[in-house]
């Protein structure tokens, strides 16, 4: 029973096979190969326009390199206070941008509201020499709370950002999970809503290690290749990145993988909602489930070998836990590789623990 993360599983069989197939023969190095070209043209197809896209091996590199293009060293990057770029990238965004300031915006369920964005922008007026200059809004889709922005919400936030002359970046480590959960196209959830640059994840949804930085305005990407090389993310045998991304986007494979992961999460969340004492913290709309579970249920599950992480509330969400609560705050993540048997076993143990009155 592994619900630790969607990167605790391996790669999809199709993507692995594509990497093995790309092993045959010689090819040009550093991304100047047919697999990478195919991946780039598939990205253009799914986004329904000419993009400038670049493959890297980690989401951190994608985010940090994208932001480095969009902000000067004296710029401000606005993001949710619990954003991956803020909390989980060891200062890579600050390092790659040569010191830009990340400004965290609080918001319930991992989301930035238009009001909160306006207030944050007002605190960093353009032209005030004592302050970093507003440069980028970065939105995570899906968010770090497993919630989603609708396309209309993205458009509203992007319009506020653009009106202030700042660019919009999207951290789409779980872009596919977010997309299949909503009734819209990849174009509508990105550039049509005002996203300028997207970190397009594949690793958590079935690749070995591959993410794309997608520029919807190719002129903005002119110097990207130098930044990527300087940052150590120009893979010598770049064909293996190209092979992963091309296979990921082949015949809707990426959407099928994400739909599977989301369906597993929906089934697990629905089952857990029936267990006495378990509370869903945020609605489960993609492939992450955040729960308050009685201490005993947590103990039984871990005792049975279930693997998942404890989570922490941000300031705004802390009120969700009741004072004196013995509940443990946990996160469960499903993936394309989740087995129905893992879900059944988890639900059976949680249900049994919740209804047993004796201490284990
Ligand atoms: C996992 C993740 C990333 C990328 O992480 P890497 O470990 O660097 O690949 C970026 N953003 C979010 C929201 C993530 O969950």
- Whether 287 and 171 map to the same domain: the answer is no
Looking at the structure, do residues 176 and 313 belong to the same domain, yes or no?
no
Flag the least confident range among 69-73, 174-178, 191-195, 313-317: 313-317
CATH number reported for the structural domain that contains residue 132 in this entry: 3.40.640.10
- Is there a domain that residue 360 lies in? no
105 pLDDT higher than 50:
yes
Rounded Cα gap, residues 182 and 173, in angstroms: 16
Tokens of 133: 């200059």
* pLDDT tens digits, one per residue of 238-257: 999 999 999 999 999 999 99
Q: How confident is the model at residue 203 (pLDDT cuts 50, 70, 90)?
A: very high
On whether residue 260 sits in a domain, the answer given is yes
Whether residue 2 is contained in a domain is answered as: no
pTM value is 0.96
Pocket test for ligand 1, best of 81, 83, 88, 204 (most atoms within 8 A of CB): 88
Say whether both 271 and 232 belong to one domain: no
Q: Is the pLDDT of residue 8 over 90?
A: yes
Q: Which are the contacts of 115, defined by CB distance < 8 A and separation ≥ 6?
A: none
Q: Residue 360 — pLDDT band, cuts 50, 70, 90?
A: very low
Instruction: Give the contacts of 308 (CB within 8 A, at least 6 positions apart).
Output: 2, 3, 4, 301, 330, 331, 332, 333
Report how far ligand 1's centroid is from the alpha carbon of 110 (Å): 15
Do 157 and 28 have their domain in common? yes
Cα separation, 291 vs 311, in Å, equals 9
> For the domain that residue 280 is a member of, what is the CATH number?
3.90.1150.10
User: pLDDT tens-digit profile of 286-314?
Assistant: 999 999 999 999 999 999 999 999 998 77
| Ligand 1 mean position, distance from CA 28 (Å) | 29
Domain boundary among 203, 218, 251: 251
Residues of the chain above pLDDT 90, percent: 93
Asked if the structure places residue 313 within a domain, the reply is yes
Q: Which of 203, 189, 246, 192 is nearest to 38 (CA)?
A: 246
Statement to judge: residues 82 and 153 lie in one domain: yes
pLDDT at 4 > cutoff 50: yes
Mean pLDDT computed over every residue of the chain? 95
Question: What is the rounded end-to-end Cα distance, in angstroms, of the chain?
Answer: 20
Domain end point (choices 251, 267, 291):
251
**120 within domain boundaries:** yes
Is residue 358 in some structural domain?
no
Residue 141 shares a structural domain with residue 209: yes
Question: What CA–CA distances, in Å, run from 179 to 116, 130, 144, 245?
Answer: 25, 40, 15, 17
Residue recorded with tokens 């045998």: 237
Query: Is residue 228 located within the same domain as residue 300?
Result: no
Cα–Cα distance for residue pair 176/126, rounded to 1 Å: 35
- Does ligand 1 come within 6 angstroms of the Cβ of 141? no
Question: How many angstroms is it from 357 CA to the middle of ligand 1?
Answer: 40
> What's the pLDDT score for residue 324?
64
**Residue 261 and residue 117 share a domain:** no
Residue 282 has pLDDT above 50, yes or no: yes
6, part of any domain: no
Q: For residues 238 and 348, state if they share a domain.
A: no
Q: What is the pLDDT of residues 14-54, one digit of tens each?
A: 999 999 999 999 999 999 999 999 999 999 999 999 999 99
Answer yes or no: is the C-beta of 196 below 6 A from any ligand 1 atom.
no
The secondary structure of the chain, three-state, reads CECCCCCCCCCCHHHHHHHHHCCCCCCCCCCCCHHHHHHHHHHHHHHCCCCEEEEECCHHHHHHHHHHHHCCCCEEEEEECCCHHHHCCCCHHHHHCCCCEEEEECCHHHCCCHHHHHHHHHCCCCCCCCCCEEEEEEEECCCCCCCCCCHHHHHHHHHHHHHCCCEEEEEECCHHHHHHCCCCCCCCCCHHHCCCEEEEECHHHCCCCCEEEEECCHHHHCCHHHHHHHCCCCCCCCHHHHHHHHHHCHHHHHHHHHHHHHHHHHHHHHHHHCCCCCEECCCCCCCEEEEEECHHHHHHHHHCCCECEECCCCHHHHHHCCCCCCCEEEEEECCCCCCHHHHHHHHHHHHHHHHCCCCC
**CB of 59 closer than 6 A to ligand 1?**
yes
Q: Is pLDDT at 175 greater than 60 in this prediction?
A: yes
Q: Is the pLDDT of residue 323 over 80?
A: no
pLDDT at 264 exceeding the cut of 90: yes
170 and 25 housed in the same domain: yes
Q: Are residues 138 and 286 in the same domain?
A: no
Q: How many domains does the chain have?
A: 2
Q: Is 53 in the pocket of ligand 1 (CB under 6 A)?
A: no
Distance 25 CA to ligand 1 centre (A): 33
Q: Check whether residue 161 and residue 259 sit in a common domain.
A: no
Contacts of residue 216, defined as CB under 8 A and 6 or more positions apart, other chains included, come to 47, 49, 51, 190, 191, 195, 196, 197, 198
Q: From atom 14 of ligand 1, which residue's Cα is the shortest distance away?
A: 173
Give a yes or no: residue 334 inside a domain. yes
Residue 95 CA: distances (Å) to CA of 63, 68, 92, 115, 276:
12, 9, 5, 29, 47
Domain limit, last residue, from 205, 224, 251: 251
Q: Which domain holds residue 304?
A: 254-353
More confident residue, 113 or 318: 113
């Amino acid at each position: 029973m592994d619900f630790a993360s969607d990167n605790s599983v391996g790669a999809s069989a199709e993507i692995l096979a594509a990497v093995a197939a790309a092993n045959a023969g010689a090819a040009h190095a550093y991304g100047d190969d047919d697999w990478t070209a195919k991946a780039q043209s598939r990205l253009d197809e799914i986004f329904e326009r000419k993009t400038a896209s670049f493959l890297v091996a980690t989401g951190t590199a994608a985010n940090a390199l994208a932001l480095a293009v969009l902000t000067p060293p004296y710029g401000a990057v606005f993001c949710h206070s619990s954003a991956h770029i803020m909390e989980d990238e060891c200062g890579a965004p600050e390092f790659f941008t040569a010191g830009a300031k990340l400004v965290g915006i609080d918001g319930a369920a991992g989301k930035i509201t238009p009001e909160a964005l306006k207030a944050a922008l007002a605190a960093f007026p353009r032209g005030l020499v004592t302050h970093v200059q507003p440069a980028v809004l970065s939105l995570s889709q899906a968010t770090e709370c497993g919630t989603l922005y609708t396309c209309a919400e993205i458009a509203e936030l992007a319009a506020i950002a653009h009106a202030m002359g700042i660019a919009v970046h999207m951290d789409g480590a779980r872009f596919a999970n977010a997309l299949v959960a909503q009734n819209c196209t990849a174009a509508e959830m990105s550039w049509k809503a005002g996203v300028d640059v997207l970190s397009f994840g594949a690793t958590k949804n079935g690749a070995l290690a591959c993410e794309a930085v997608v520029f919807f305005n190719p002129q903005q990407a002119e110097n990207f290749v130098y930044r990527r090389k300087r940052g150590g993310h120009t893979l010598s045998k770049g064909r293996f990145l190209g092979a992963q991304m091309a296979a990921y986007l082949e015949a809707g494979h990426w959407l099928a993988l994400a739909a599977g992961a989301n369906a597993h999460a929906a089934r697990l969340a629905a089952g857990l909602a029936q267990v006495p004492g378990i509370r869903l913290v945020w609605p489960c709309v993609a492939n992450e489930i955040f729960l308050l579970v009685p201490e005993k249920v947590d103990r039984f599950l871990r005792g049975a070998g279930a693997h998942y992480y404890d989570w922490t509330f941000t300031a705004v969400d802390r009120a969700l836990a009741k004072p004196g609560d013995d509940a443990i705050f946990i996160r469960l993540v499903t993936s394309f590789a989740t087995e129905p048997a893992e879900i059944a076993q988890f639900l059976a143990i949680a249900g049994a623990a919740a209804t047993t009155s004796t201490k284990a």
